[in-house]
Structure 1
Amino acid sequence: MVHQYRNNGYNIVLDVNSGAIHVVDDVTYDVIELFEDNSAKEIIEKLVDRYPQTEIEEAIQEVNELKDNEELFTEDTYKERIIDFKKRQTVVKALCLHIAHDCNLACRYCFAEEGEYHGRRALMSYETGKQALDFLIANSGSRRNLEVDFFGGEPLMNWDVVKQLVAYGREQEKLHDKHFRFTLTTNGVLLNDEIMEFANKEMDNVVLSIDGRKEVHDRMRPFRKGAGSYDLIVPKFQKFAESRHQDKYYVRGTYTHFNTDFSKDVLHLADLGFKQISVEPVVAQPTDEYALKESDLPVLFDEYDRLAAEMVKRNKAGNGFNFFHFMIDLEGGPCVYKRLSGCGSGTEYLAVTPWGDLYPCHQFVGNEDFLMGNVWDGIKATDIQDEFKCCNVYAKEKCRNCFARFYCSGGCAANSYNFHGTITDAYDLGCELQKKRIECAIMIKAAEADMADDAQ
């Protein structure tokens, strides 16, 4: 399977099954487009009015060589590997600890209902959190590196318990030959020097929630009485990012139907000095006034193209930044099983409520149909776990023949369920945006390769 597209002056050809990417001239691009369904003679006849015959013949020879080297038109050798996914042994390697089902903001698009998750306001006790860490250690097998994200609601509303659990985790590392990678997601309202100092010592990554321009942020992320939160958090976030040497954090925003010109929000955050940025599309029901619509897609595609081109320009000028959805590894990357099955929700990754219940991920919390067990008794609903084990790109009809399947791994199971009632479908609007982001990310890599060649 081959995917071809043009972006920012580059002719890009992706061989989906091998992962090989080629930046080619116009004649080779057009030859590849005709290659599978036409003989060499037919290709020449169709292109000879546009290119000299010798160039067409050279391109055909080059394409044949790439095919022989399994860099173009390669066969899918992964289908058979996925059959026994249900039988594979999995270990739990990451927990999303809902340290607080409460929040001091009233974000309009919040899937957690101001932190309540379709339930009640609650703060996780130290005893419950401690048991969650014990559960993780006990179910992690021989895996040494474990991840724990302090999540909410707003986790800083339960900061003392966060600190206690980090201290407990550090004690357990020595006893069990484990290493905890702690992360924190915060809206920044309660952020202060003491919290920054502790986080810089103990948190491997920190996510700072901000949507971009002041008017955009304040519209969607106000306090409960209606006042905006932008002016309060921006100087804190700038200080925090600098204190982390512009590394191991990212500012994360959400764009909606109200700001389809979201590239301006990304660039606004870059101009504020942030080097690690993520601004992601809202996921909302069509009845929500801020929901993205199919009619928004052409505008959003243009925005991604505009952003990618500006990033190339800034990289060349020496003032670049990272955009989370354009970060792509074309050489190493995750193993094939990870690329086929995705984030590991429901198997390797679980969410824990303040009272210790286990769910496949934070977006399923509160849906009793996906209650898997608790941190004291372990996973009881093994049928749910088996269902998530089988959630992969070949179990999803929409993914099987999609060029993006080895990059997006089939997309988000929660989004699939919320829009289609099953975890083995795909959220269509999200798929279209993901495919566009992948195309832009590959183009940026092509531009980086050009810059490297120019520097030699």
Structure 2
Amino acid sequence: MIHQYKSNGYNIVMDINSGAIHVVDDVVYDIIELYEGHEKSEIMDMLASKYPKEDMEEAFEEIETLIKEESLFTEDIYKDYIIDFKKRKTVVKALCLHIAHDCNLACRYCFAEEGEYHGRRAIMSYEVGKQALDFLIANSGNRRNLEVDFFGGEPLMNWDVVKRLVEYGREQEKIHDKNFRFTLTTNGVLLNDEIMEFCNKEMANVVLSVDGRKEVHDNMRPFRNGSGSYDLIMPKFEKFAESRHQTNYYVRGTFTHFNKDFAADVLSLADKGFKQISVEPVVAPASEPYAIQEEDLPELCEQYDLLAKEIVKRDRAGKHFNFFHFMIDLEGGPCVAKRLSGCGSGTEYLAVTPWGDLYPCHQFVGQDEFLMGNVWDGVVKTDIRDEFKLCNIYAKDKCTNCFAKFYCSGGCAANSWNFHHSITDAYDVGCELMRKRVECAIMIKAAAADEEGE
């Protein structure tokens, strides 16, 4: 399976099954486009008016060498592997702790309904959180590295319990030979020097929620009284990022139908000195005024192209920053199993409510049909877990001929459910944007290799 495209002056050919990426000249590009389904003589005739014969002969030799090296027109060898992989015993490696089902902002696009998650406002007790960590340890098997994300609502509204749970986790590490990687997502309203200091000591990563330009942020992320939050949080976030030496954090924003020129939001964050940036499309029903519509896609794709070209320009000027959706590892990256099955929601990764219920991930919280159990009894509805174990790119018809399938791993199960009432479908708008992001990310890699003379 081949995908080829032109971007920023580069002719890029992707061999999907092997993961090989080729930047080629025009004649090789055009021949590859015709290679399957045509004889060599036919192709030579079809392109005779465009290229000299000797150039085409040389191009054919190059293509045939790549085929022999199994980096072009390769076969898919993974389907049987994923079936065997899903037969393995399930271990839990990560929890999303909903430390607070409450929030001090009223973000207009919040899927958590201002922190309530289709239910009641609540704060997780230390006892529930402690039991959640015990559950994680007990169900992690031989896995040593475990992850816990303090999430909300707004987790800083329950800061004392966060600190106590980190302390408890550090104690249990020594007893059980485990290593906890704690992370935190915050809107920054309650952020202060003491919290920053603690996070810099204990949190492997922090996610700082800000949508970019002040007018965009304040429109979508106001306080409950309608006033904006940008002026309060931005100085804190700038200080926090610097205190972490511009690593192990993200400023994370959301773009909507109201700011389709979102590249300007990304660049506004970069211009403030942030080096780790993620600005992602809102996921919302088409009935919402801020929802991304299908007709928005051409403009949004243009924005990704604009942003990718600007990143190349800034990289060459020594002004590098990381944009999360353009970060791609063509040499290492996730293992095969992760590439095929995604985030592990419902199996390796679970969300925990303030009262201890277990759900496949934070986006399913409050949906009764996905209540899997609790931190005392464990996963009691194993049929839900088994359904998620079978959720992979080979279970999704829309992934079959998609060139991005090994990069997105089939997309988000929650988005699939919310739009199609099936976890093995796909959110179509999200798929289109993902494909564009992959193309842009690979172009940036091509430009970097070009700059280095590779």
How many Å apart are 1:82 and its aligned residue?
A: 2.2
How many Å apart are 1:453 and its aligned residue?
A: 1.8
AA of the residue aligned to 2:81 = R
CA contact (8 A) 1:85 1:389 kept: no
SS in structure 1 at match of 2:141: coil
The answer to whether 1:207 aligns with 2:182 is no
CA distance in 2, matches of 1:337, 1:201: 32
SS in structure 2 at match of 1:252: strand
Q: Which residue of 2 aligns with 1:308?
A: 308
The answer to whether 1:391 aligns with 2:396 is no
- Structure 2 counterparts to residues 212-231 of structure 1, below 5 A: 212-231=212-231
Q: Which residue of 2 aligns with 1:192?
A: 192
CA distance in 1, matches of 2:369, 2:92: 21
Q: Which residue of 1 aligns with 2:32?
A: 32
How many Å apart are 1:86 and its aligned residue?
A: 4.2
CA contact (8 A) 1:257 1:296 kept: yes
How many Å apart are 1:64 and its aligned residue?
A: 1.0
AA of the residue aligned to 1:258 = F
AA of the residue aligned to 1:79 = K
How many Å apart are 1:89 and its aligned residue?
A: 1.4
Q: Which moved more, 1:77-86 or 1:333-342?
A: 77-86
Q: Which residue of 2 aligns with 1:13?
A: 13
Query: Deviations along 1:311-369, whole A, 9 cap, x unmatched?
Result: 00000000110000000010111111111000000000000000000000000000000
Q: Which residue of 2 aligns with 1:122?
A: 122
CA distance in 1, matches of 2:95, 2:222: 29
CA distance in 2, matches of 1:90, 1:250: 30
Q: Which residue of 2 aligns with 1:425?
A: 425
SS in structure 1 at match of 2:59: helix
Moved over 6 A (4+): none
AA of the residue aligned to 1:163 = K
Query: Deviations along 1:232-270, whole A, 9 cap, x unmatched?
Result: 000000000000000000000000000000000000000
The answer to whether 1:167 aligns with 2:167 is yes
CA contact (8 A) 2:357 2:374 kept: yes
How many Å apart are 1:83 and its aligned residue?
A: 2.4
CA distance in 1, matches of 2:88, 2:431: 28
Provide closer, same or farther for how the CA distance between residues 124 and 3 of structure 1 changes in structure 2, counting only shifts above 3 A. Answer: same
AA of the residue aligned to 1:357 = D
SS in structure 1 at match of 2:133: helix
The answer to whether 1:263 aligns with 2:285 is no
Q: Which residue of 2 aligns with 1:348?
A: 348
CA distance in 1, matches of 2:310, 2:442: 15
Query: What is the aligned residue count?
Result: 454
The answer to whether 1:97 aligns with 2:97 is yes
SS in structure 2 at match of 1:83: helix
- Structure 2 counterparts to residues 355-374 of structure 1, below 5 A: 355-374=355-374
The answer to whether 1:336 aligns with 2:336 is yes
Structure 2's unaligned 5+ residue stretches are none
Q: Which moved more, 1:161-170 or 1:54-63?
A: 54-63
CA distance in 1, matches of 2:369, 2:18: 39
- Structure 2 counterparts to residues 36-51 of structure 1, below 5 A: 36-51=36-51
How many Å apart are 1:37 and its aligned residue?
A: 1.1
CA contact (8 A) 2:105 2:221 kept: yes
Q: Which moved more, 1:57-66 or 1:304-313?
A: 57-66
CA contact (8 A) 1:85 1:390 kept: no
CA contact (8 A) 2:3 2:403 kept: yes
Q: Which residue of 2 aligns with 1:154?
A: 154
Query: Deviations along 1:130-189, whole A, 9 cap, x unmatched?
Result: 000000000000000000000000000000000000000000000000000000000000
Q: Which residue of 2 aligns with 1:111?
A: 111
AA of the residue aligned to 2:100 = A
CA contact (8 A) 2:85 2:337 kept: no
Q: Which residue of 2 aligns with 1:295?
A: 295
SS in structure 2 at match of 1:394: helix
CA contact (8 A) 1:114 1:153 kept: yes
AA of the residue aligned to 1:72 = L
SS in structure 1 at match of 2:245: coil
CA distance in 1, matches of 2:446, 2:95: 36
The answer to whether 1:441 aligns with 2:449 is no
AA of the residue aligned to 2:437 = R
CA distance in 2, matches of 1:41, 1:433: 38
AA of the residue aligned to 1:94 = A
CA contact (8 A) 1:107 1:222 kept: yes
Q: Which residue of 2 aligns with 1:142?
A: 142
Q: Which moved more, 1:57-66 or 1:132-141?
A: 57-66
CA distance in 1, matches of 2:34, 2:87: 42
- Aligned-residue sequence identity (percent) comes to 77
CA contact (8 A) 1:189 1:232 kept: yes
Q: Which residue of 2 aligns with 1:286?
A: 286
CA contact (8 A) 1:132 1:356 kept: yes
AA of the residue aligned to 1:198 = F
CA distance in 1, matches of 2:179, 2:83: 32
Q: Which moved more, 1:183-192 or 1:60-69?
A: 60-69
| TM-score normalised per structure 1 | 0.99
SS in structure 1 at match of 2:89: coil
CA distance in 2, matches of 1:414, 1:120: 21
How many Å apart are 1:390 and its aligned residue?
A: 0.0
CA contact (8 A) 2:276 2:322 kept: yes
SS in structure 1 at match of 2:95: strand
The answer to whether 1:65 aligns with 2:55 is no
CA contact (8 A) 1:86 1:386 kept: no
CA distance in 1, matches of 2:51, 2:87: 54
